[in-house]
Structure 1
Amino acid sequence: MEDAIEQPPASQPYRVLARKYRPQTFDDLIGQDAMVRTLSNAFETGRIHQAYMLTGVRGVGKTTTARILARGLNYEPAEGGGKPTIHMPVLGRHCQAIIDSRHIDVMELDAASHNGVENIREITDGVRYAPVSARFKVLIMDEVHMVTTNAFNALLKTLEEPPPHVKFVFATTEIRKVPITILSRCQRFDLRRVDSGLLARHLAAICEKEGVAIDAEALAMIARAAEGSVRDSLSLLDQAIAHGGGSIDAESVRAMLGLADRSRVIDLFEAVMRGDAAAALDELRDQYDQGADPAVVLSELAEFTHFVTRVKISPAAAKDASATEIERTRASDLAQKLSMRALTRQWQMLLKGIPETQTAARPLAAADMVLARLCYAADLPSPDELIRQLSDGRGVPARNAAPAPSAPPAAPRAQLITSSSQPRPAFQAEPAAPAVPVRALASFPEIVGLAMEKRDLPLKLALERFVRLVAFADGRLDVALEPGSPQGLVNDLSRKLSDWTSRRWLVVISSEKGAPTLREQAEARQAAVLTGVRADPLVRAAMERFPGAEIVDVRDNGPVAVQALPPAPDDEADDADDGHIYSADDL
């Protein structure tokens, strides 16, 4: 027989990094120390639960942990023996089959396609039989929240009292959709998002094994984009390696992800904070022309706003390993100069603007409008500054309007300025507010007029309706209050008079009755005028000529007029005079 011709080994298909570097032991898991410690102690003491529930966001290792758990439950050295353990230095008799998802006693089910009562009945019937070769029969069900309510009810009895050779491991991303009756029968582990710094170090180790050169800034970008998901980070790293041709730098990752340059995002942040709309829109347009997504630019702007806020609250946050050196330096500088009010206002406006940009038909135009709103709000007065302006009688100054000589608008508390010789912005301190001149008041009506001048209408109306003047002196006011007067009226009046006149005023509530209120005085004067008008012979003649007519004051400070009502039925000859208003001069 001729010797068989030796065939060259078939080339192995490429395995993506997420599968090639999938953890196989608990020591390989990153960022889940609490779960590993709990399982280690449970296995060492023999307190192994009958069912486990693993929950967390996508890509943190739920299914991988379930397989490692199944391997630890069935770990058996090659020479035999052994017991459940999390320490597996070498592959055991069942390990490779479990890793490859082909072990007969470890069943992996997708709950999306096995979510009915019939599927659960097959599971409950199968778990009654002893395992074929392993120590435990392990059932792994992924995305268990998709199981129907009736199917969950069919599983309850078996889950609560399973055979001693059966262990359940469930995984889900929607823990709130799992019935509480199922959760109460499981030992729950919440797998955490992996910290960006730890994830960046993990990616760096993989790049070293793959022989790929990558810089720290590119690693930080990929770790941030993964948002704590190890699988997402490995998928992005795989894409970056293909994009960069074996060498990864920040520019290639930025182009791949459609991100903006972080230093340019900070420049955009500074332009927005100083209210320079033209510079902000130009910067956004330049980044858009270079391939940046407008929604991503706004998201990066929001992320840097959050970073600056964290640094302002806790300076230790500036040591975040996922941030670049330029981010840490400039964020620390900006945190000292920006107010918390400005940062939180920008954050809230960006939260509303990002979804608008993502769903807009023209994302760039939507992002432009978001930046325009941010720049417009940058130099708006704060609530305390607005109250101070209203209290000073200046009102709210019109935007970009020239200030009146007698009432200049208040300067911003802090203004961000830049120059060509200064790479980062500085803040200009607020100048001292001009002193309010001392003002003398000679009567109670002047106080009411001053409230009107300051546009404090609630105080003016309260003074007219509820205050009876008892005594008036320079800097002292004795009054009596009508029932129903606003609470704190006296203290409010004393404080505002002191602010408006630049001198101390004492307002005292007197036990005396005092003079009538200004409204009562005005009503008395009106009644006297009407009485005098009615006494006029011509008016009396008009009233007799037109029965039912009423006297109405139709002009401010003008003569009182007589308004004729419809005539009596017997006044047919005078129908042409219906509704005419006659003054005393007409008669």
Structure 2
Amino acid sequence: MIAGYRVLARKYRPTVLGDLVGQDLLVQTLGQAIHHNRLPHAFLLHGIRGVGKTTTARIMARVLNCLNNHTETGKSIDACGQCASCKSLTDDRHLDVIEIDAASRTGVDDVREIIDSSRYKAVTGQYKIFIIDEVHMLSKSAFNALLKTLEEPPPHVKFIFATTEIRKIPDTILSRCMRFDLKRIEPKLLVDYLKKIAGLEGFVLEEEAAFSLARAADGSMRDGLSLLDQAIALSFTDNRSDRISAQTVYNMLGLADRQRLFKLLGAVLEGQPDVTLQHTADLLHDGADAQLLLQDILDILYGLICLKTVPQFQKESFWSQADREAGSQLTAPLAVSTLLSLWQALLNALQEVKIAPVPSQALELALLRACYLSDLPPLENLIQSLKGGRSRDSTLPVTSQALHHLVGQAPVVAQTQHAINKPAVSLPTSFTDLAKLVSNAREPMLYTQLLHDVDCIQYQPGEMTLYVKPTVPATFLATLKQVLQTVTQHTWIIHLAKQPGQGSLEDQKKALQRQAYEEVLSHLNIQAIQNAFPGSTLEIIN
């Protein structure tokens, strides 16, 4: 029995196009092409691992070579499964269907074997079919050797390519193939299919367990079935061997209980550091990995943001109904800006956890910072309150404790008010003065660009129109605006002109020098000197 066991991904591999999950467009297009006998000589199947590329290639080979698959207008989209061709293909012994792994046979000699073999007609079927998996692994010379045969193949030959990295395939190959992009399996479809397979195996897969497996599979059906296989094997150790519980899946994947994660995140959002540390310690004690724990929290935060902003997320997410209800209650009193700030802070902390000598300590400190961050009001509200002249107590009745823990109360108010009352620097009255201002700000690169590469068409303090040479970096305008705003404490408006004007500051300077030089040359005394000393020249000394 052990020797004959087949993993779920092979046991329940689809044998007809209609059994493919989540690839409706592919099934419809291929079905119509097969039915009306409008089949190209080369197909290219592209998608992530485990979405059905090789399975689709084998189904196509079965349909094309089925001996009983003929209608008046073409072939049926389903093979009979009973003829000698179908049975030999099921047993992987079909003489006319040649499956090649390009990852191990990458050279031009391997392609020459394919070309030589393609000259001979099929033995038992109608077509000789070459299925080349991971075709992007072929060498450049191998692709070149395949070009001519792929462009004008014999009428009895079909090529089916499968790849996960389509950008590595030359355009000359892509243009000779009919391309199909296989999509990731949608969450709901993946969850339903995992439940169905578990039922066929005599097990009941809990909803939360199915969603956890689907999240870990990340849109790959094969990954999901492999994980389900592992969960079934692990569930035999439980008292109820016919039920796959969520806790079993959590233990198998090294994940934390989702409900406990929601409690932890709730404590963070409510600004309760002691409760946060307790929940974190309990999860780590139960075997959760610090890095995976933080990734799960980020995943939940992403879901919470989507719940607040994208209504259809309720139906299309990897979240179970219990998770969606808990998430809705958690985010009801919160602003989206708060969740976004928290997500960004924890995302930055993820790198700290990865490199920390003790990851658990880095995780705890990151969550502590998040507790105080979530308790802060939006920055624009804080500044507006301070501009209005309100007292510290009336401005921050709820968040004063958080501000005290972060930076202290009095310095924040004093420094902020000082920044608000600080007089603004007078704006430069000319473009030349603006360039000098940039130079005084110790921005030599920007100053050089203003002198040589920028033509000021129109200028008034706070707003100007510039012509910028194509050689100037794309970041020039953004850098100029930032420097001017920092130095003058004023938001500048900069327009771009399509045509140059009088030239850059350096060009104008040189023009003035030439004009002065010509005026000097036209002076009578200078002309008399040149007549007295033939061949003499006038040099300008700066």
TM-score by length of 1: 0.65
C-alpha distance 80-41 of structure 1, shift in aligned 2 (>3 A): closer
CA deviation digits over 1:77-112, x for unaligned, max 9? 299999643223543321122233321111111111
Query: Which residue of structure 2 lines up, in the alignment, with residue 66 of structure 1?
Result: 57
Query: Which residue of structure 2 lines up, in the alignment, with residue 234 of structure 1?
Result: 225
Give me the whole-angstrom Cα distance separating, in 1, the residues matched to 2:180 and 2:380.
48
User: The residue matched to 1:169 in structure 2 has which SS?
Assistant: strand
Q: Which runs of 5+ in 2 are unaligned?
A: 403-414, 431-458, 464-542
Matched, 1:387 2:383: yes
Matched, 1:171 2:162: yes
CA deviation digits over 1:18-71, x for unaligned, max 9? 111111111211000000000011112111011111111111111111111111
Structure number with the higher helix fraction is: 2
C-alpha distance 391-168 of structure 1, shift in aligned 2 (>3 A): same
C-alpha distance 226-82 of structure 1, shift in aligned 2 (>3 A): same
Across the two proteins, how many residue pairs are aligned to each other? 418
Q: Aligned match of 1:135 in 126, 147, 155? A: 126
- Percent identity, please: 44
Give me the whole-angstrom Cα distance separating, in 1, the residues matched to 2:10 and 2:371.
47
Report if aligned partners of 2:80, 2:86 keep a CA contact under 8 Å in 1.
no
CA deviation digits over 1:461-507, x for unaligned, max 9? 449x99xxxxxxxxxxxxxxxxx99539xxxxxxxxxxxxxxxxxxx
Query: Which residue of structure 2 lines up, in the alignment, with residue 255 of structure 1?
Result: 251
Give me the whole-angstrom Cα distance separating, in 2, the residues matched to 1:264 and 1:416.
27
Moved more, 228-237 or 339-348: 339-348
Query: Which residue of structure 1 lines up, in the alignment, with residue 536 of structure 2?
Result: none
Q: Aligned match of 1:411 in 396, 411, 421? A: 396
Q: Which has the larger radius of gyration?
A: 1
Q: Aligned match of 1:344 in 340, 345, 350? A: 340
Query: Which residue of structure 1 lines up, in the alignment, with residue 183 of structure 2?
Result: 192
Matched, 1:116 2:91: no
Matching residue's letter, 2:254: G
Query: Which residue of structure 2 lines up, in the alignment, with residue 284 of structure 1?
Result: 280
C-alpha distance 264-159 of structure 1, shift in aligned 2 (>3 A): same
Report if aligned partners of 1:94, 1:103 keep a CA contact under 8 Å in 2.
yes
Matched, 1:274 2:270: yes
Report if aligned partners of 1:77, 1:93 keep a CA contact under 8 Å in 2.
no
C-alpha distance 460-319 of structure 1, shift in aligned 2 (>3 A): closer
Give me the whole-angstrom Cα distance separating, in 2, the residues matched to 1:359 and 1:115.
38
Query: Which residue of structure 1 lines up, in the alignment, with residue 301 of structure 2?
Result: 305
Give me the whole-angstrom Cα distance separating, in 2, the residues matched to 1:58 and 1:459.
61
Moved more, 273-282 or 260-269: 273-282
Query: Which residue of structure 2 lines up, in the alignment, with residue 524 of structure 1?
Result: none
User: The residue matched to 1:315 in structure 2 has which SS?
Assistant: coil
Report if aligned partners of 1:318, 1:331 keep a CA contact under 8 Å in 2.
no
Query: Which residue of structure 2 lines up, in the alignment, with residue 459 of structure 1?
Result: 423
Query: Which residue of structure 2 lines up, in the alignment, with residue 357 of structure 1?
Result: 353
Q: Aligned match of 2:216 in 206, 219, 225? A: 225
Q: Which runs of 5+ in 1 are unaligned?
A: 1-9, 395-405, 418-450, 467-483, 489-587
Give me the whole-angstrom Cα distance separating, in 2, the residues matched to 1:409 and 1:262.
39
Query: Which residue of structure 2 lines up, in the alignment, with residue 560 of structure 1?
Result: none
Give me the whole-angstrom Cα distance separating, in 1, the residues matched to 2:37 and 2:400.
66
C-alpha distance 82-88 of structure 1, shift in aligned 2 (>3 A): farther
Give me the whole-angstrom Cα distance separating, in 2, the residues matched to 1:244 and 1:279.
33
User: The residue matched to 1:54 in structure 2 has which SS?
Assistant: strand
User: The residue matched to 2:162 in structure 1 has which SS?
Assistant: strand
Matching residue's letter, 2:210: L
Matched, 1:369 2:365: yes
- 1 or 2 for the larger relative contact order (CA 8 Å, sep ≥6)? 2
Distance apart, 1:385 and its partner CA: 2.3
CA deviation digits over 1:342-364, x for unaligned, max 9? 12222223333334434544321
Matching residue's letter, 1:487: G
C-alpha distance 77-414 of structure 1, shift in aligned 2 (>3 A): farther
Report if aligned partners of 2:302, 2:343 keep a CA contact under 8 Å in 1.
yes
Distance apart, 1:167 and its partner CA: 0.6
Distance apart, 1:293 and its partner CA: 1.6
Q: Write the mapping of 1:308-347 to structure 2, written as runs, cut at 5 A.
A: 308-320=304-316, 322-347=318-343
Give me the whole-angstrom Cα distance separating, in 1, the residues matched to 2:385 and 2:264.
31
Give me the whole-angstrom Cα distance separating, in 2, the residues matched to 1:275 and 1:249.
32
Give me the whole-angstrom Cα distance separating, in 1, the residues matched to 2:129 and 2:424.
80
Give me the whole-angstrom Cα distance separating, in 2, the residues matched to 1:346 and 1:367.
14
Distance apart, 1:372 and its partner CA: 2.8
Give me the whole-angstrom Cα distance separating, in 2, the residues matched to 1:453 and 1:113.
69
> What is the RMSD of the two structures over their aligned residues, measured on CA atoms?
3.2
Q: Aligned match of 1:159 in 150, 154, 179? A: 150
Query: Which residue of structure 1 lines up, in the alignment, with residue 441 of structure 2?
Result: none
C-alpha distance 63-355 of structure 1, shift in aligned 2 (>3 A): farther
Give me the whole-angstrom Cα distance separating, in 2, the residues matched to 1:149 and 1:93.
38
